[in-house]
Amino acid sequence: MLDLALRGGLVVTPEGVREGDVGFEGGMVAEVGAVGRARAERDVRGLYVLPGLIDVHVHFNEPGRTHWEGFATGSAALAAGGGTLFAEMPLNAHPPLLRAADFHAKVAAAAALSRTDFALWGGLTPDNLEHLAELAELGVVGFKAFMCPSGIPEFRAADDETLFEGLTRAAMLGLPVAVHAESAAITGALAARARAAGGRGVRDYLASRPPVAELEAVSRALYLAEAAGAEVHLVHLSTARATQLVAAARARGVRASCETCPHYLLFTDEDAARLGAPLKCAPPVRSAAERQALLGALCAGEVDLVASDHSPAPPELKASEDAFAVWGGVSGVQTTRAALLSLGLTLPEVARLTAAAPAARFRLPRKGRLAPGMDADVTLLDLSATTTFTPENLLTRHKVSPYVGRTLPGRVVATYGRGRLLFEAGAPPTLPPVTGRFVRPTAERTP
Ligand SMILES: NC(=O)N[C@H]1NC(=O)NC1=O
Ligand SMILES: [Zn+2]
Ligand SMILES: [Zn+2]
């Protein structure tokens, strides 16, 4: 007998939408279609039933900067946006995750506080090449490197030599390297020049990180990965041309993938000038023409997946009049699917970009699809409703976000993680306490 039957929903897979039931048993999907008897029933007629969102790029900043976000609030906000798993970046926490000794405190905190399941990225910096193997052993999904300053002094940028050596080692360990690709030489020189001339405005900041800084660094990362025989994942691409560089590299056999973020698809430089600090990020949001081209690349299948790059900070770090001094990072862990739906993407496309593709790319076992034997990670979505995001319904620790005041399509009615209720719209915030589990990637498949 099933534990729970969701009856009569519109079940979404990357292949399409079919009316049917979904049955849970022992935390897994047991049946899809017409399912048998269950101890509990939920009528979900008229609701879309999607695989839980997987966000492979968040900064929850715990331990050490829990006052910036933390696992408890970050994962609650993720679940409220339909999310069931996140992969957390190694930086902004203190210490950053650079060696085995940093791992245990982080896993303990996440296992105690996270509502959703979680995976972890290790770091790749000039300080920890000798520690990549021990991090792989502990189950990180890959290694994150910055080609420019990260904003966190204790997480140093990888010079080309470090990146090449790190890629070589990662290849031997069977893990990908995720790269923040902006040229330090270009952005550093342009920022110094602007500041010397007294530039402090949003436009000055945007001009200091032009598309060519991304394109040059993406090209370099792809060449280094190719020479090292490594898997490389280009994070938060902000231009269509960068996604095309990745697609071209893949066509010549480089094991490369890429992601973009909702803020590059929804917002432009005009919005940055108007909204200021909530929309400051690196790379920055682009012109309307660049935004349109990136959306075209996404629709043409040149982007593997979408992640939030949720990187919040306390309001006082988002308050300076100097655009260069403001913390760079967008708070968006709760809004990814609403944002994608506002762009006209179909539900199967959304399910692919936010669940099936990230699970497959990072080899997350039993995640990303609604099928028998997979984890019962499910979002119930009412597409006849909209959501207006407010400081009250955003469950993040801080409420500085470019999405505040925006009305976007759909309303998350409930989220289940391994069959347990993680979020229920309208329910008091005291849902039964549940915590997530650490997810390690499966071994690389031999070709
Ligand atoms: N350190 C950190 O979170 N940086 C992120 N913020 C941002 O806007 N881009 C990033 O890489
Ligand atoms: Zn980054
Ligand atoms: Zn990031």
Minimum-distance ligand 1 atom for the alpha carbon of 155: 1
Protein residue closest via CA to atom 3 of ligand 1: 311
Q: Which two tokens stand for residue 180?
A: 């923040």
Q: Which residue's C-alpha comes closest to atom 10 of ligand 1? A: 282
Tell me the per-residue pLDDT of 231-271, one tens digit each, with 9 for 90 and over: 999 999 999 999 999 999 999 999 999 999 999 999 999 99
Q: How many CA atoms lie within 13 A of 314 on its CB side?
A: 5
Which residue minimizes the CA distance to atom 11 of ligand 1? 282
Ordered by where they begin, the domains of the chain are 2-49+372-424 (2.30.40.10), 52-362 (3.20.20.140)
Token pair 């992969």 in the structure block, residue: 87
User: pLDDT tens digits, residue range 118-177?
Assistant: 999 999 999 999 999 999 999 999 999 999 999 999 999 999 999 999 999 999 999 999
Q: Is 201 exposed, middle or buried (0-12, 13-18, 19+ CB in 10 A)?
A: middle
Decide if pLDDT at 400 tops 50: yes
pLDDT of 428 reads 75
Q: 281 CA to middle of ligand 2, Å? A: 9
Output the pLDDT for position 447: 43
To which H or E segment does residue 214 belong? helix 211-228
- Cα–Cα distance between 291 and 364 in angstroms, integer? 30
Return the ligand number nearest the Cα of 329: 1
> What contacts 107, CB < 8 A, 6 or more positions away?
120, 438
Q: Which tokens go with 150? A: 């990260």
pLDDT band of 431, cuts 50, 70, 90? confident
Mean pLDDT across the chain: 97
Separation of 152 CA from ligand 1 center, angstroms? 9
Which residue from 307, 374, 381 is spatially nearest to 346, judged by alpha carbons?
Answer: 381
146 and 113 Cβ atoms separated by less than 8 Å: no
Contacts of 251 (CB under 8 A, 6+ apart): none
Which ligand has the nearest atom to the CA of 91?
Answer: 1
59 has binding-site annotation: yes
310 belongs to an annotated ligand binding site: no
Tens of pLDDT, residue by residue over 297-322, are 999 999 999 999 999 999 999 999 99
Report the alpha-carbon distance of residue 251 to residue 241 in Å, rounded. Answer: 15
State in Å: Cα 269 to ligand 3 middle: 20
- Annotation-wise, does 144 bind a ligand? yes
Q: What is the whole-number distance in angstroms between the Cα of residue 282 and the centre of ligand 2?
A: 7
Instruction: Give the ligand whose atoms come closest to the C-alpha of residue 313.
Output: 1
Q: What is the DSSP letter of 355?
A: I
Residues in contact with ligand 1 by the CB-under-6-Å rule are 59, 91-92, 150-152, 180, 281-282, 309, 311, 328-329
The torsion angles phi and psi of 131, rounded to 5 degrees, stand at -110, 0
Q: How many angstroms is it from 40 CA to the middle of ligand 3?
A: 40
Interval 129-146: pLDDT, tens: 999 999 999 999 999 999
pLDDT of 445 reads: 59
Per residue in 186-238, pLDDT (tens digit) is: 999 999 999 999 999 999 999 999 999 999 999 999 999 999 999 999 999 99
Query: In the predicted model, what is the mean pLDDT of residues 66-91?
Result: 98
Instruction: Quote the pLDDT of residue 72.
Output: 97
Q: Looking at the CA of 56, which ligand is closest?
A: 3
Looking at the chain, the whole-number percentage of residues with pLDDT higher than 90 is: 96
Q: How far is the CA of 57 from the centre of ligand 2 (A)?
A: 9
